[in-house]
Amino acid sequence: MSRIGNLPVEIPEKVTVSVDKNNLVTVKGPLGELSEQVDGRIDVKVEDNQVVLSRSSEDNQSKSMHGLYRALVYNMVEGVSKGYEIKQELVGVGFRAEAKGQVLELSLGYSHDIFFEIPSEVKVEAKTERRSNPIITLKSIDKQLIGQVAAKIRSFRKPEPYKGKGVKFVGEHIRKKAGKSASV
């Protein structure tokens, strides 16, 4: 039994949710509009300011889809009402980031700079203050897309466990290893 799938999704004011006959859920809010195609085994209904999802059968595939689509609808409602923000920090000597429109230029200690084109749905901002690590801020209404972009940026130079250098999320704690120790 899907515990997440059984919870109704509350619709805040200024947000409208509509479901068409092909199970296409469209969510409109002050920050934008998102839509998701829901599997045919899941029924979506909008009733008294809530979105209720129910499944037609009890097989494992339907149970997993039930929780998945409830979470996706919840993320769409949160995204169009509040939005999502991810901050990443570049830790390392000489590491820098610069946003030029939708292109992020990263200098991460390689022999060349990395030019990463950000999708138009994601807003990017790079801030470098004196004597602190550069911070990359990503903002979007689509949680899945912003997470994917953040993971791609992190993959250019993952934090290594000896000195902690690399691209990490703000607030993330990197467990450091001791390294070599001299045997006497």
Rounded distance between C-alpha atoms, residue 38 and residue 23, angstroms: 5
Same domain? 137 vs 92: yes
Walk across the sheet containing 24-29 and list its strands: 16-19, 24-29, 32-37
Same domain? 40 vs 69: yes
pLDDT band (50, 70, 90) for residue 56: confident
Same domain? 59 vs 123: no
Q: How does the average pLDDT of the chain come out, rounded?
A: 92
Same domain? 102 vs 161: yes
Q: Average pLDDT in the 160-183 region?
A: 88
% of the chain with per-residue pLDDT over 70: 97
Residue 50's φ and ψ, nearest 5 degrees, are -140, 150
Predicted confidence (pLDDT) at residue 159 exceeds the cutoff of 90: yes
Same domain? 135 vs 104: yes
Residue 181 lies in a domain: no
Q: Which domain holds residue 157?
A: 84-169
Same domain? 108 vs 156: yes
Same domain? 30 vs 48: yes
Indicate the residue among 28, 48, 81 that finishes a domain: 81
pLDDT (tens digit per residue) in 137-154: 999 999 999 999 999 999
Q: Average pLDDT in the 155-166 region?
A: 94
Same domain? 8 vs 48: yes
pLDDT of residue 150: 96
Structural domain total, the chain: 2
pLDDT of residue 183: 61
Residue 177 lies in a domain: no
% of the chain with per-residue pLDDT over 90: 77
C-alpha to C-alpha distances, 126 to 13, 117, 118, 167, nearest whole angstrom: 33, 14, 13, 13
Same domain? 67 vs 94: no
Same domain? 110 vs 50: no
* Nearest-5° Cα angle at 166, 95 to 172: 120
The domain that holds 51 is classified in CATH as 3.90.930.12
pTM: 0.88
